[in-house]
Structure formats: C-alpha cells, structure tokens
Amino acid sequence: MPPVASSTVHTPEVASVLKTSKPAGKDQDAAAPFNPFYSYYAPTDDTGDDQTYQYAKYKANMTPRTQMPYFPEVDWQPLGPINVQDRGLFADPEKRSLLSAATKVKHLTPALGVELHGIDLRYLTDAQKDELALLAAERTVVVFRNQPITIEEQLDLGRHYGTLHKHATTPVPREPGLEEVHVVYADSARKPDPTAFSKIELWHSDVTYEQQPPSLTSLKVITSPACGGDTLWSSGYALYSSLSPDMQAYLDKQYAVHSAVLQAQGSRAAGTHVRRKEIETIHPVVRVHPVTGWKSVFVNPGFTRRILNAPKAESDSILSFLFHQIAENPDFQVRISWESNDIVLWDNRVCTHSATFDFYPERRHALRVTPHGERPISVAEYEQDGKKAKDRQVEIWKLQGIEVPTPVVPVAGGVIKQKVYND
C-alpha cells in the first residue's frame, strides 16, 4: 500500500471508530464528574483573591462581569496548510553558541531531559534560538529555572519557531490580545474527580488531532504549589528503540486516527463554546523527526483512537501496549518539579506528557505557547528520496563505539541462557 499522508478525515470508517472507541467514563453531561483533560470548566472561584492575586489577568476561570469562565465565543475557520521551516536545520550541530553561554549543562536521564543554568531566555540570539531547537530535537525536554521572561516575550520566542496555535476549546487569559496563549490553571475551586478518568488517559501529546501538531512548545509556571504539580514526559524515541525489530517494522507501516471529538464534547457539556469545529486526522504511528532523522512512536492515550486497517482487537491490543509503556516504563521518562517562574521547552513531536493533580487545594498556574510543526512524516515518506530513518539508541551506541546487539535467530531445539538483572 502506498504511503498515507497525514490528513483530516470525515469518512464513515472514522465515524465508526469514534463511536466505538470512546473511553468508558467519558460520557459528558452537565452533572458529569470533572475530568481536567477533556473539560476545563471551573464553576466557582472560592479563592476570593481576584483583586490581590498578582497574575489575575492571566486567569481564565472567572470574570467579575459575568461570573462565568472566560472562553471567548468566537468562531475560527478550519486550519489550512502552514508553512514550516524547522529552525533546528539552521543550527550549529555542536550548539556552541548556546551551550557555551550556560554555566551548567545537566542531563536529567539517559533517554531525555537537559537543564541549562545561567541563561536568560529574554536575551537569546537567533543562532542560540536555533540551537535550542536542535537541542530539544535531540534531548526532547529542556529546562530553564527562574526565568523573568514575560508572556509577551514568551510569545515572541515561540514565533521564532513557527505560526502559533490557537486552541479551540481551552480558556485564554482575560488580558486582551493573548488568544495564542493556553492557560493551565487549577486552585481550590474544584477538585479533579478520579472517578472521571484514569491516570493513563491523561498522558498526551498536545493537540495531535491537528494536521500540523505542535513542535517546540514552551510552558512557564508562574505560580507553583509548595509541593506537587510535577510534569512527566515520556520519550517516543526511547519507546521505539525498546521494541523488537519485528514490532518496529510493523509499526513503521501503520497509521492511526487522532481525534478532537472528546475534547470538544467535554467543552460543550461544560457549557463553553468550541471555537473551531473538531476534526479527526490520520497520522503515521511512527514519525521521523525532520532534523534528527530519528524514529519516534507517535500515539498517545489522550487523542489516538484506532490504528487504521487493523481489526479492532488488534488495534486495541497494540495501542494498549504502547499506552502502558508510555505511562509505566520509567526508563523512558523524566519528571520535573516546578518552582514559580520555571519554564520548560519540549519537542512535542517526539514525546508525551502528563501532569500530576496532587496539589489540591493549592494553586498551580502556567502559560503555554505552542508553535505548529510540520505535517508528521512517515518512515516511507522520509526515505523516499534516499535518506534513511534511524533508531536514536542505535545511533548513540555507534557514536560511543558500542557494538549494536544482533537479534537472536531462533533455532529449533536451541536453548537460550537468560541473563538476570539484579538491583
């Protein structure tokens, strides 16, 4: 079968997928339990501090005039093709300008995550911004502590990487002119109800139902709880590298449906306006990063509904396996504990993430800026002009001079001695 381009679909098959793949417990109505992923509605504001809270203008749950959540009732046209030039392609491969400006560079786990000290994001040169894109493409998650960057400056930084996404259902700040800002806010007004969701379902890559999902995303926590409210990221590169060659070869050829339907339903059930009609989009299950050329598993529990052209039982089993690896395998993960004014940038194309909701009744308030990336590139599409998509871990081993393990070829009657890992 020829390669399938990522595309928006409204076929009977996809409609059937969406009807049959709705997770249990997601029926949304006015009295439904509060699921913070599919519905952002907060019906009351019992903090009583709108006149004193430093960042009240960036809140989105209440307005004094209406006493209703601030979700602008505007209608946006469907998104068309967006021209993208990945800034990582213009970067010095050694990233000398960026890394030489840091007083400390700390890798957080072997799979992903790096923390840079001594850099003020307000003063990055264009060359350093490009190198930051390359660093994120390689290390996935980049952490900067105690950054005074304002939301306007954060938006300017995001625009260096591409056209900014405007979310169809989530709240935006009350401050005018910030429709490209995604607000993440929780306080004592409403406690997430664990009867409404499982923790696995909260793992996601941002808005993967879009035809061109985000690339180098930034989130700044402007108010953090004293403890808790951490974010975890899981590497799609590392997940791919962990699979058997046969599973890799199978997934390389597959495509899946990503859906905005449940998120839109949750918004409508909460009484808020959906600003852009929800879509379902087909993307490759394994995408290739345009800068690194590395393969990454590109599915997530939040938005991926079904593998196309596979029996439902097969699709459900494979997606369940991948979702559990994302959420449960610590070798693929990094966990970041926030303090106020920390900012994290991550390459949304090659990871999934999830927040913890362990901080109630304290406040957690963050602002996200989200540039569009390219339409996801399949292995077949990437390789059609002679390039070779690669396994990140294999490439790292080669650079380290480590011999790449050869798969064991089974022989009838053979006996394999197992090596046991002890800790």
Q: Which of 165, 167, 204, 283 is catalytic?
A: 204
Question: 389 and 294 in contact (C-beta within 8 Å)?
Answer: yes
Cα 38–chain centre separation: 15
Question: 230 and 335 in contact (C-beta within 8 Å)?
Answer: yes
Residue 341: phi, psi to the nearest 5?
A: 80, 5
Q: What is the dihedral of CA 326, 248, 109, 397, to 10 degrees?
A: 170
Q: Which of 86, 206, 252, 342 is catalytic?
A: 206
Residue 117: phi, psi to the nearest 5?
A: -105, 150
DSSP, res 214? B
Cα separation of 158 and 277, whole Å?
A: 25
According to DSSP, the β-strands at 255-259 and 231-235 are unpaired
Q: Is residue 411 classed exposed, middle or buried when 0-12, 13-18 and 19+ CB atoms within 10 A define those classes?
A: exposed
Q: Which of 165, 287, 353, 363 is catalytic?
A: 353
Residues 258, 180, 378: CA angle, nearest 5 degrees: 30
Q: For residue 320, what are its two tokens?
A: 């369940």
Cα separation of 299 and 255, whole Å?
A: 10
Cα separation of 185 and 180, whole Å?
A: 16
Identify whether 368 is a catalytic site residue: yes
Beta strand ranges found along 195-349 (DSSP E):
216-223, 231-235, 255-259, 280-284, 286-288, 295-297, 304-307, 333-336, 343-347
According to DSSP, the β-strands at 333-336 and 231-235 are antiparallel
The residues pairing with 390 across neighbouring beta strands, listed in sequence order, are 294
Q: Write the DSSP assignment of 274-317 as a string of letters.
A: -SS---EEEEESEEE-TTT-BEEE---TTTEEEETTS-HHHHHH
Identify whether 206 is a catalytic site residue: yes
Catalogue the active-site residues: 204, 206, 353, 368
